[in-house]
Each structure stands twice: as structure tokens, then as C-alpha cells.
Amino acid sequence: MKTKFLLAMGLVFGMAVMPLKAQIKIGFINADYILSQMPEAKQVEEDLKNTQKQYETLYQGKVKDFQDKLAVFEKLPANTADIIKQDREKELQNLQTSIQEFQQNSQSSLQKKQAQLLQPLLKKIEENMHAVANENAYTYVFNYDAGMGTAPILLHYPADASISDLVLKKMGITPKPVTATPAPANNAAPATKQATPAPKK
């Protein structure tokens, strides 16, 4: 009797669970793919390039100033007073430190600006993703790019699981075919880094 009761309960429980499983629908988006096709992303890229160019111009000016003063220092007469040599050496060391700090600060500033400019675009993608997911009854939506630092989180999926094009259409953008995987948006190139020679003693 007890066995029959448990068997009956198991069948009822199984019947109750089956419809729930049938309702689960999983999809994913490729955020970088979507971002690469957004018109706003081109403006962000242009702004970052302009900022990077400004940093590069300032950097090259600092390097030239250092190199010019280094050339003057190296041509000092042998009988130049030690106090003058020490003063010039200190000036060159300060310039070298300033260049190194500018490199670090410019790269950090560029990364912060990139994050700031991309934030509203990523929010737009997220909002439209939620809208598409609700309209098409997707229970879960993953980001294909999330694991690209090592390996994609999604290793196998049906072709209709990707809703990236649906999100683009939701934003009024006609999806364009891509021949290669777009590079992650957070890989903006930092200001050119060059080594500055140390003053000779």
C-alpha cells in the first residue's frame, strides 16, 4: 500500500514538473557583436581616438623636451662644476619621472573615459535584451562574451538560441553579417609607450 502511494505521488510530481521544464527557454546575446553595429559605438571610438591622439601629442612633447635637455647635458664641458651637473641630472630625473607618471595617468584616464562612454550603450543593450526576452518568452539569457578572456561560457547551443539580431532589430538596427569575431570594446589602445633614456653620469 505504501509503495503504491509513493509511486502514485511520484507520477503526480513528475507530471507537475514536466510542464515547468517545457516552459524553460534559454538564449544568449553577443554583446560585442551588437555593440559593433550600433551607430553610437562609432562615435565613442572616434572620441577615444581623438583623446588618445591628444595624449600622444603631449607625451611626444615631453619626450622631446627630455631628449633635448639630455643632449645639452651630455655636451657639458668636462670642467663643468659638479653642482651644475647635479642640478641638471636632477632636472632630467624629474622629467623622466613626469613622463612615466603621464603614461600611467593617460592610460588610466583613457580607460575611465571608455567605460563612461560605453555605459549608456551597454544599458541600452541590456534594456532591449530584456524586452526581447519578455516578448519571446526566454527564461534565461546569457552573454556569450562573458567568458571570452579564457573560453566562451557557451560551448554548444542551437542556432535559434542567439537573440543578438533580435536585440539589434529592437533598437532599429538592421543586423550586418560579420566575417570575424569583433574585438572586445574594452581593448582600447593606450597612449604609445616609449622608453626614455636615463641621463649619463
Convert the pLDDT of each residue in 128-155 to its tens digit.
999 999 999 888 888 887 655 555 566 5
**Residue ranges of domains in the chain:** 27-170
What global pTM score does this model have?
Answer: 0.66
Q: Per-residue confidence at 156, pLDDT binned at 50, 70, 90?
A: low
Q: Which of 178, 191, 201, 189 is nearest to 35 (CA)?
A: 178
Q: Which of 61, 47, 20, 81 is nearest to 196 (CA)?
A: 61
* Nine-digit cell string for 185: 570594446
| Contact predicate 125/167, CB 8 Å | yes
Q: Which numeric CATH code is attached to 27-170?
A: 3.30.910
Centroid of chain to Cα 62: 28
Q: Per-residue confidence at 159, pLDDT binned at 50, 70, 90?
A: confident
Element (H, E) at 83: helix 82-135
Convert the pLDDT of each residue in 97-129 to its tens digit.
999 999 999 999 999 999 999 999 999 999 999
* Nine-digit cell string for 27: 538564449
